[in-house]
Chains A and B, each alone.
Chain A
Amino acid sequence: DAMVIQNPRYQVTQFGKPVTLSCSQTLNHNVMYWYQQKSSQAPKLLFHYYDKDFNNEADTPDNFQSRRPNTSFCFLDIRSPGLGDAAMYLCATSRSNRLNEKLFFGSGTQLSVL
């Protein structure tokens, strides 16, 4: 059974039209992350939540926002998508920040911007 679930698998939006990607987890993990992965590039961390505490990466554009209403759900909001925001968006979780804690990834949402 999938433990980190992302919906939808594929999302198409228009240039400048707000879009929300969702992620849910059944692992009851404390930490949830959003990564952006463009074609043939490394996944890049956008931000993460440790419980309710939001932590933004310094180079994440203001266009990207996130919400975590409860332990299980986390959302990625792109306020005004540009063509350069087309990418795979990966949600991941970890139980804590212990040294050997691994990240569990969802299957990703492939975002296209027209």
Chain B
Amino acid sequence: GQNIDQPTEMTATEGAIVQINCTYQTSGFNGLFWYQQHAGEAPTFLSYNVLDGLEEKGRFSSFLSRSKGYSYLLLKELQMKDSASYLCAVRDLLTGGGNKLTFGTGTQLKVEL
């Protein structure tokens, strides 16, 4: 099975940098995803890591350490629109094909002026 932990809530200031951590204990591992979910909306893809190291995409970066079962999402130059829930998800292969993403409960980020 999969167990994924991330903080429930975080607050940060507009223009600042925030790091959202995720730790996981899994029976299998085939990659880690970060999704952003605004209230009442669908999750949208942010990043994917399968190898150790940092993946950078604009204001968003994601880091993975497989030996430590640890990832973080780094958001730079925070904007008010970044206020959302950030979901960490671990991928496993499904019997019969397809991807199984097991999600954490999400970190609710609030960006303040």
Known: A33-B98, A42-B105, A97-B93. 11 other contacts (CB 8 A): A4-B42, A40-B105, A55-B94, A90-B43, A97-B97, A97-B98, A99-B91, A102-B33, A103-B33, A106-B42, A108-B42
Among A31-70, those with CB < 8 Å from B are 31, 33, 40-45, 48, 50-51, 53, 55
Residues of A within 8 A of B42 (CB): 4, 90, 105-108
Give the CA-CA distance A44 to B44 in the complex, in Å.
16
Minimum Cβ distance to chain A for residue B105 (Å)? 5
Determine the residue in chain B with the shortest Cβ distance to A55. B96
Given A43-B87, A45-B101, is A107 in contact with B96 using a C-beta cutoff of 8 Å? no
Is the CB–CB distance between A94 and B98 below 8 Å?
Answer: yes
Judge whether B25 is part of the interface by a CB distance below 8 angstroms: no
Residues of A within 8 A of B30 (CB): 99
**B interface, size bucket:** 20 to 34
Give the CA-CA distance A44 to B101 in the complex, in Å.
9
Is the CB–CB distance between B48 and A102 below 8 Å?
Answer: yes
- Number of A residues, CB within 8 Å of B: 30
Among B87-111, those with CB < 8 Å from A are 87, 91, 93-106
Residues of A within 8 A of B104 (CB): 42
